[in-house]
Amino acid sequence: MTVALDRITKSFGAVTALHELSLEVERGEFLVLLGPSGCGKTTALRMVAGLETVTSGRILIDGKDVTEVQPKNRDIAMVFQSYALYPHMTVAQNIAYPLVIRKEPRTEIDRQVKEVAAQVQLDQLLDRYPKQLSGGQRQRVALARAIVRRPAAFLMDEPLSNLDAKLRGHMRAELKHMQHQLDITTIYVTHDQIEAMTLAHRVAVLSKGVLQQIGTPQEIYEMPANMFVAGFVGSPPMNFLNGDLAEGRFVTGGTSLPVHHAGSRKDVVLGFRAEDCSVTAAETAGAVAGTIYSTELIGDHVLVTCEAAGHTVVVKAEKTFTREIGEPVGIRISPDHIHLFAGPDGERIR
Amino acid sequence: MNARKSWFEPRKLGEMAPAARIGIYAVLGFWALVVLFPLYWLFITSFKLPIDVAYPPKYLPFLDFAPSLSAWRYIFVDLGNDTLRPYFNSVIVALSSTVLSVGIGSMAAYALSRIEYKPRLGSILCFILILAGVVVAVLAGHVDWRLATLVGIALFILVLRTVARRFRRHVGNPDILFWIISQRILPPVVAALPIYVMFQHLNLLDTHLALIVTYMTINLPISVWLMYDFLVGVPTDLEESAQLDGASRFRIFFGIVLPLAKPGLIATFLLVLILAWNEYLLALFLSTAKAQTMPILIAAQNGTRGPQWWYMSALITIMIAPVVALTVALQKYIAQGLLLGAVKG
Amino acid sequence: MGRPLSEWIDRQADRLFILPAVVAILAFSIFPLLVSAYLAVSRFQLTAGGYQIRYIGWLNFKKILTGSEQFHFLGTFAPIPWFAWILPLLALLFVGRGLRLYLTTGRVTVLGAIGRAISAALIVALATLIAATCGPHGGLGTVSVTLMYVVIGVSFQFLLGLGLAMLCAQRIRGRGFFRVVFMIPLMVTPVGVAYTFRMMADMTQGPLSPLWRLLGLGDLTWASQGWSARLVVMVGDAWQWIPFIFIVLLAAIEGQSREQVEAASLDGAGFWRIFRDITWPEIAPVAATVVLIRVIEAFKIIDLPNILTNGGPGIATESLTLHSFIYWRTLDLGGSAAVAYSLLFISTVFSVSFFNFVVQPVRSARK
> Of B309, B315, B329, whose CA–CA distance to B49 is shortest?
B309
Instruction: Tell whether B159 and B202 lie within a shared domain.
Output: no
Q: Which of A211, A232, A253 is the last residue of a domain?
A: A232
Q: Is the pLDDT of residue C62 over 80?
A: yes
Of B1, B8, B13, which to mutate for an interface test with A (greatest number of A Cβ within 10 Å)?
B13
Q: Which of B144, B171, B198 is the last residue of a domain?
A: B171
Report the distance separating Cα C18 and Cα C21, nearest Å. Answer: 6
Q: How many CB pairs under 8 A join A and C?
A: 56
DSSP B106-131: HHHHHHHHHS----BHHHHHHHHHHH
CA distances, B280 to each of B56, B204, B226, B285, C302 (Å): 33, 19, 23, 9, 9
Of A76, A82, A87, the CB nearest to C259: A82
B52 inside domain: no
A269-283, B41-55, C167-181: segment of lowest average pLDDT: B41-55
3-state secondary structure of A157: strand
Q: What is the pLDDT of residue B345?
A: 42
Residue A99: closest C-alpha in chain C? C267
Q: What is the pLDDT of residue C26?
A: 86
> Of A164, A102, A111, A113, whose CA–CA distance to A139 is shortest?
A164
End-to-end CA distance of chain B: 54
3-state secondary structure of A291: strand
Task: With a threshold of 0.85, tell me whether the complex ipTM lies above it.
Answer: no
B65 inside domain: no
Residue C109: CB atoms within 10 A of its CB come to 8
Instruction: Tell whether A211 and A296 lie within a shared domain.
Output: no
Closest approach of chain B CAs to the CA of A11, in angstroms?
Answer: 15
Task: Give the up-direction half-sphere exposure of residue B110: CA atoms within 13 A in the CB hemisphere.
Answer: 28
A350 inside domain: no
Instruction: Tell whether B4 and B89 lie within a shared domain.
Output: no
Q: At what angle do helices C2-11 and C13-25 cross, to 10 degrees?
A: 60
Report the distance separating Cα A93 and Cα C264, nearest Å. Answer: 13
Of C24, C204, C210, the CB nearest to B217: C24
Q: Is the Cβ of A55 closer than 8 Å to some Cβ of chain B?
A: no
Q: Which amino acid is at C161?
A: G
Q: What is the pLDDT of residue B1?
A: 39
Task: Give the up-direction half-sphere exposure of residue B159: CA atoms within 13 A in the CB hemisphere.
Answer: 19
Percent of chain A topping pLDDT 70: 99
Q: What is the pLDDT of residue B343?
A: 63
Q: What is the pLDDT of residue C158?
A: 95
Domain count within chain B: 3
Per the CB < 8 A criterion, the answer to whether C246 and C161 are in contact is: yes
Cβ pair A53:B13 closer than 8 A: yes
Q: Average pLDDT for residues C105-131, to the nearest whole number?
A: 82
Q: What is the DSSP letter of A256?
A: E
A309-325 pLDDT per residue, tens: 788 889 998 888 888 88
Q: What is the pLDDT of residue B2?
A: 46
Instruction: Tell whether A50 and A154 lie within a shared domain.
Output: yes
C64-98 pLDDT per residue, tens: 888 887 888 888 888 878 888 888 888 888 888 87
Instruction: Tell whether A16 and A121 lie within a shared domain.
Output: yes
Report the distance separating Cα B303 and Cα A35, nearest Å. Answer: 76
Q: Is the Cβ of B120 closer than 8 Å to some Cβ of chain C?
A: no
End-to-end CA distance of chain A: 36
A131-140 pLDDT per residue, tens: 899 888 898 8
Instruction: Tell whether A39 and A76 lie within a shared domain.
Output: yes
Per the CB < 8 A criterion, the answer to whether A204 and A214 are in contact is: yes
Instruction: Tell whether A303 and A203 lie within a shared domain.
Output: no
Using a CB-CB distance cutoff of 8 angstroms, which residues of chain A are in contact with residue B14? 52-53
Helices (H), chain A: 41-49, 91-101, 106-119, 135-147, 165-182, 193-199, 217-222, 227-232
The secondary structure of chain B in percent helix, strand, coil, rounded to multiples of 5, reads 75, 0, 25
B76 inside domain: no
B178 inside domain: no
Using a CB-CB distance cutoff of 8 angstroms, which residues of chain C are in contact with residue B143? none
Which chains pack against C, by 3+ Cβ pairs within 8 A?
Answer: A, B
Closest approach of chain C CAs to the CA of A264, in angstroms?
Answer: 55
C324-341 pLDDT per residue, tens: 988 888 888 888 889 999
Q: Average pLDDT for residues A182-201, to the nearest whole number?
A: 91
Cβ pair C267:A72 closer than 8 A: yes
Per the CB < 8 A criterion, the answer to whether B297 and B315 are in contact is: yes
Q: Where are the domains of chain C?
A: 65-73+141-366
B62 inside domain: no
Residue C138 belongs to what H/E stretch? none
Strand partners, A288: A331
Instruction: Tell whether B209 and B277 lie within a shared domain.
Output: yes
Instruction: Tell whether A195 and A289 lie within a shared domain.
Output: no
Q: What is the mean pLDDT of chain A?
A: 87
Cβ pair B335:C289 closer than 8 A: no
> Of B214, B181, B172, whose CA–CA distance to B109 is shortest?
B181
Torsion of CA C235, C239, C241, C243, to 10 degrees: 150
Domain range enclosing A159: 3-232
B61 inside domain: no
Residue C268: closest C-alpha in chain A? A72
Instruction: Tell whether B191 and B277 lie within a shared domain.
Output: yes
Q: What is the pLDDT of residue B93?
A: 93
A26-65 pLDDT per residue, tens: 999 999 999 998 888 999 999 999 888 888 899 999 888 9
Instruction: Tell whether B101 and B223 lie within a shared domain.
Output: yes
Q: What is the pLDDT of residue A293?
A: 92
Buried b (16+ CB within 10 A) or exposed e, A235-250: eeebbbbebebeeeeb
Residue B116: closest C-alpha in chain C? C14
A349 inside domain: no
Cβ pair C206:B274 closer than 8 A: no
DSSP C49-108: SSEEEEE-TTHHHHHHHTSTTHHHHTEE--PPPGGGGHHHHHHHHHHHHHHHHHHTSS--
Instruction: Tell whether B37 and B150 lie within a shared domain.
Output: no
Considering the entire predicted model, what is its pTM? Answer: 0.85
Report the distance separating Cα B318 and Cα B323, nearest Å. Answer: 9
Q: Is the Cβ of A53 closer than 8 Å to some Cβ of chain B?
A: yes
CATH of domain C65-73+141-366: 1.10.3720.10
Q: Is the pLDDT of residue C49 over 70?
A: no
**3-class SS letters over C152-181:** HHHHHHHHHHHHHHHHHCCCCCCHHHHHHH
- For position A168, which CATH number holds? 3.40.50.300
Q: What is the pLDDT of residue C46?
A: 72
Judge residue B117's burial from the number of C-beta atoms within 10 Å of its C-beta, 0-12 exposed, 13-18 middle, 19 or more buried: middle
Instruction: Tell whether B137 and B195 lie within a shared domain.
Output: no
Instruction: Tell whether A223 and A261 lie within a shared domain.
Output: no
Report the distance separating Cα A265 and Cα A257, nearest Å. Answer: 14
Q: What is the pLDDT of residue A260?
A: 78
> Of C182, C223, C225, C190, whose CA–CA distance to C206 is shortest?
C223
Of C32, C199, C244, the CB nearest to B41: C199
> Of C183, C172, C88, whose CA–CA distance to B339 is shortest?
C183
Domain range enclosing B16: 1-41
Q: What is the mean pLDDT of chain C?
A: 84
Q: Average pLDDT for residues A241-256, to the nearest whole number?
A: 81
- For position A277, which CATH number holds? 2.40.50.140
A348 inside domain: no
Under the banding of pLDDT at 50, 70 and 90, the label for residue A213 is: very high
A89-127 pLDDT per residue, tens: 899 999 999 898 888 899 999 999 998 888 888 888 889
Domain count within chain A: 2
- Residues lower than pLDDT 50 in chain B: 1-2, 345
Q: Which amino acid is at B155?
A: L
Cβ pair B328:C198 closer than 8 A: no
Which of C:189-228 have CB within 8 Å of A? none
Instruction: Tell whether B327 and B282 lie within a shared domain.
Output: yes
Q: What is the pLDDT of residue A35?
A: 92
Q: Is the pLDDT of residue A350 over 70?
A: no
